[in-house]
Chain A
Amino acid sequence: MISCTEFILAYNELFKYIEERGGREGLEDFWTRISDEFLFNLDELVRTKGIKGMEEYWGHTLTEEVANARIYADDKEFRIEMDECPSVKRINESGIKKCSSYCYHCDTLYKRVIEKYGFIYNLDIIDADKGVCCVKVRKID
C-alpha cells in the first residue's frame, strides 16, 4: 500500500508518467477525470453551501495536510493565500524532480467544479518552486 503520506510523491510520478506520453494535453485529460470522478464531495459542498462549502472543504483538507496557508471568506469572495504548499514542500524535501506542470492541476481540478455554480475561479501561481500561490473565487453578480 502506498501510504497517503507518500501519495504526493506517487502522484507527482503519475503526472510525469502521463506528461512524458501525452504532454500537457494528456495531463489536462487526466486532471479532468480526477475532477469529475473524485471531487464529488467538493461538488456537493459548493452546490449546496456555496462559499461556506468551499470554506468547509479546504478548512478540512488544508488542516489534514498541515498547510501553511490562510483562508478568507465573505459573502462574495473566497480566497486561499498559500505561503508554502504542503505538496510542493514534500516533493522539494524528497529531492525528487517535480513535474514541470505540477501546480496547474489545482487550476483544472477545482475550476471545473466551482465555475459550474456561478463563481469565477482564479489561480495565481506566484512561485511554483516554493509552492506560493493564491486562489481567488468570486461570486458572479
Chain B
Amino acid sequence: MKYLHKDFHGSLSCGFSYVTEKYGVEGFQEYCKEVARNVYSSLSEKIKESGLKAIEEHWNNIFTLEEGDFALYYEGPVLVLEVKECPAIAHMKKRGYKIAENFCEHTKLVNEELCRIAGYHSSCDYNQEKGTCIQRFWK
C-alpha cells in the first residue's frame, strides 16, 4: 500500500486561504519561504550537489506518484516541467474542495526560494483554472 492521501491538497488549500486572509499576501509569501527553507532543505542540498538533475528527479517522482499529466525536458541549459493536468487541482475539483485564489502561487514561491538557496533560478507560469503550468529552472 503506497502512502497517497490526495485529500490533503484540499486541506492545504484551505490553509493558504486562511494565512492570506489573516496575515496578508506578505504573510503567505513568508510562509511559503519557510516551507522551502525547512521542508525542502534536502532538495536544495541535492541541487547544490547534482544541479538540475536533482530537480528533474524530484518532479519526476512526485508527478509519477500523483499520476499527473506532465513532461520534463531541456531547452538548452533550462529544465522545463510542463504540467498538462495538475493532480492537486484535478483532485480538488473532483472532490468539490474550495480552491484558494492563490493556490498555484505557492509553487512559484516555494520553487524560487529553494532554488535561490541552491544558487539557481526558477519561473512558473500557471493557469489555475485549467490546472496547467510551465515551470523553468536554470543556473
Contact = CB atoms under 8 A, between A and B. Distances in A.
Interface string B98-112: 100000001100100
Q: Tell me whether chain A's interface is mostly helix, strand or loop, or mixed.
A: helix
Given A11-B15, A14-B15, A38-B14, A86 B3 contact: yes
Interface string A26-41: 1000100110011011
A9 interface: yes
B23 A9 contact: no
Contacts of B62: 1, 3, 5
A3 B66 contact: yes
Contacts, number: 96
Contact of B14 (A18, A22, A34, A61): A34
B55 interface: no
Interface size class of B (residues with CB under 8 A): 35 or more
Interface string B33-69: 0110011000000000000000000000010011000
A141 B83 CA distance: 53
A34 B35 CA distance: 19
A18 B30 CA distance: 12
Interface residues of A, number: 34
Nearest to A90: B3
B19 A4 contact: no
Nearest to A109: B11
Contacts of B23: 21
Contact of B8 (A4, A16, A21, A40): A4
A7 B8 contact: yes
A14 B19 contact: yes
Contacts of A5: 3-4, 62, 65
Given A17-B19, A33-B18, A3 B31 contact: no
Interface in B74-120: 83, 86-88, 95-98, 106-107, 110
B15 A96 contact: no
16 contacts: A2-B107, A4-B5, A4-B9, A5-B62, A5-B65, A8-B8, A9-B38, A9-B39, A11-B8, A11-B15, A13-B31, A14-B12, A16-B34, A17-B30, A66-B2, A96-B39
Interface of B: 1-12, 14-15, 18-19, 22-23, 30-31, 34-35, 38-39, 62, 65-66, 83, 86-88, 95-98, 106-107, 110
Interface of A: 1-11, 13-14, 16-18, 21-22, 26, 30, 33-34, 37-38, 40-41, 61, 63-66, 86, 94, 96
6 A-B pairs closest in CB distance: A7-B8, A64-B5, A4-B8, A9-B39, A3-B62, A38-B14
